[in-house]
Every structure is written in C-alpha cells, then in structure tokens.
Amino acid sequence: MPSLLYMGSMDFLIMNGAGNRFAVFDARKALDFALSDEQVKAICAPGSAAMGPLGADQLLVLRPPKSPEADIFMEIRNQSGSEVDACGNATRCVAWLVMEETGEAAATVQTNAALLAATRTGPLSIAVDMGEPRLDWSQIPLKEPMHTHHVDVKLGPIDNPVLSNPGAVSMGNPHVVFFVEDFETVKPHLAGPMVEFHPLFPEQTNVGFARIDGPKNIRLKVWERDAGLTQACGTGACAAVVAAHRQKRADRDVQVDVDGGTLHIHWRESDNHVILSGPVELEGRGTL
C-alpha cells in the first residue's frame, strides 16, 4: 500500500473527526522532528497559512510505537502548544490513516495515556475503545476530595441554577459536564473559559454543555481546554454520556449530536469501557 502518510517532515495532512480539526505530521522517519509551542500555535491559529480560516484544534505528531502492541504513537498538542494525553477524535483519524496504510480493519494507537484499539465501521467511520472512565476526584484531577457524579463548582458572579451540579469525568483528560436546557441562556463561549480555569481543576478542564433530548440522545457543545469551542470533542462526548448516566439522565448507548456532526457513545456494562464511534475526513495536505 503506498503510504498516505510519509511526507517530508514539513508536509502534513489536514483531517477532521466530526469537524474536530487536526494538522497531522508524520515523524516516523524523522525521529528528531519536534515543534515548539510557538510553532504549534502558529500552525493551528485560525487564519494561519498552514490551516486556513478554520485553523486546527489540535496538532498531531505521529511517531514509531513505544509498545510492541501498538501500530503507531500519537503525540497530541492543543492549539496553544500544550501536550495532552487523550484526544478521541484524533485517535479515530490516526487509526483510519493506519488502516488505509496497512489494509487492515483494525489498528492500535498509543498515546501517553493508553493503548487504544480501533476498528473500521465503514469506509470513513471508525470506532475506538477509549478504555474505562476515571471517576475518582484525584483522577480527574480535582483540587480536593469530593464525589464526582455531582461536583460543587462555585462560579461566583455567574452562579445560576442553569450551571449547577455538573459531573466530572476523566477519559485520560479532565472533563466537567453541565446539563443545560438551552445554549442561548448558558452561552458556552462565556461560561467555558470561566470554568476551564476554575481553581477546582489544578490541570484546568474541558467544559461540556449537554442538553438531554432523550435517554439515547444528547446535544453537546464543548469548550475545550486550550482550544476553545470546537465542532466536536470525542473525549467530551464520552464524558457527557458517562456523567449523564451516572446522574440517571441517559442510557449507556447514546447518540451525541455536536456542531460538526454525530458521534455515538457506548459505555459498555460488561467491561466498563467507553466506545467512541463516528466519521473521519481527510481534507487534504499542507506544507510549511
């Protein structure tokens, strides 16, 4: 199979998972390839020469696997350059690239947090096993011990009943999920950054706003840590279903509609793993 991937290390692919947009650099043959936070920021910024008006939510660097069980290692950098340990939609996109390269219908992607097994569910759709949700306060992490199915986030001046009793979940990255009636009242772009940097979250947090449209239907918007409002957030969709089910607001098998499309989450009762499924798209190539 001709490699879709290997290009000069200053070339890259532009991909998205349900609209969550990525710049993907293949450094498997350029082992000394590294990008500073400033370089990542410049590449990802909306309007950049590299990524155009939409910019990129995250930048991915593909490297040789560090585990014999993995096909590839994925380094994940947020729009501002920070390195993070989990990105569900990126995992699905990279798994698709590996499957296109190998001709297999399965692939294992390694991140700092985990080995993630993915399977092809269609020509342009991939399911990934995101593993078990981490639900102890210290795993989110939170600043102090508390139950995580309802978290007491005092928001001060914007305290209002609409933003009460969120749930906290880690999928290898921190999430807090609020349950809202409508997005006009809540204004995620205003509330998001206030919660992202709330002192309760020593590593900051991704902030989900979930409207429960039924036991199997959630409409979700996510203010992502270090990236802002994105078209989709894979770990955010996982966290929303886990938090909703824990508060008895939704089932374990849920369709999650996001601005950029539809994701499907199944929090499996048999092994407590969360399966994230959805579309992938290869938009094109870029070069620096």
Q: Which residues bind ligand API (CB under 6 A)?
A: 20, 57-58, 78, 84, 87-90, 173, 206, 224-227, 233-235
Closest separation in Å from C-beta 204 to ligand API: 8
| Binding-site residue set for substrate | 20, 58, 78, 88-89, 173, 206, 224-225, 234-235
Catalytic site residues?
87, 233
Q: Which is nearer to ligand API, 215 or 261 (CB)?
A: 261
Closest CA to 225 of 233, 217, 237: 233
Q: Which is nearer to ligand API, 74 or 98 (CB)?
A: 74
| Binding-site residue set | 20, 58, 78, 88-89, 173, 206, 224-225, 234-235
Closest separation in Å from C-beta 218 to ligand API: 16
Q: Which is nearer to ligand API, 130 or 162 (CB)?
A: 130
Closest separation in Å from C-beta 2 to ligand API: 28
Closest separation in Å from C-beta 107 to ligand API: 17
Q: Which is nearer to ligand API, 180 or 258 (CB)?
A: 258
